[in-house]
Amino acid sequence: MRVKWWHIALGICLVVAFISPLASGSPDGLEKVAEDHEFIGFAEEAPFQLIADYLFPGIENEALATILAGIIGTLVIFGVVYGLARLLRLGKRATE
């Protein structure tokens, strides 16, 4: 199989996911505003949890849990959107 540009690009995305444990743990803009103006307490927990907070459950090493969550997410998102675009292409051909 010939290496296409997007194989390399997907590799770059996975590298970005791999370094995600380096992310700043500080609150983001909205969280900061919610803390400063004291409405962060209104935030509700999700009714169910899969890979909550980008930590793969059951792994003690936080960096590893983050990397695993990141790589799974990156691959799932790629598959879903690539698949959606493929389906839309098929839909176009079917109506032509």
CA–CA gap between residue 26 and residue 30 (Å, rounded):
11
- Is residue 69 within 8 A of residue 50, CB to CB? The reply is no
Among 2, 24, 58, 60, binds other proteins (CB under 8 A): 24
**What's the maximum distance between 2 C-alpha atoms anywhere in the chain?**
56
x/- mask, other proteins, residues 29-68, rule CB under 8 A, reads xx-xxx-xx-x--xxx-xx-xxxxxx-----------x--
Binding other proteins by CB under 8 A: which of 57, 63, 64, 76? 76
Residue 62 C-beta: closest distance to other proteins, Å: 13
Query: Measuring CA to CA, how many Å separate 81 from each of 64, 68, 77?
Result: 26, 20, 6
Distances (CA, A) of 15 to 1, 50, 84: 22, 23, 24
The site for other proteins (CB under 8 A) is made up of 4-6, 9-10, 12-14, 16-17, 19-20, 22-30, 32-34, 36-37, 39, 42-44, 46-47, 49-54, 66, 69-70, 73-82, 84-86, 88-89, 91-92, 95
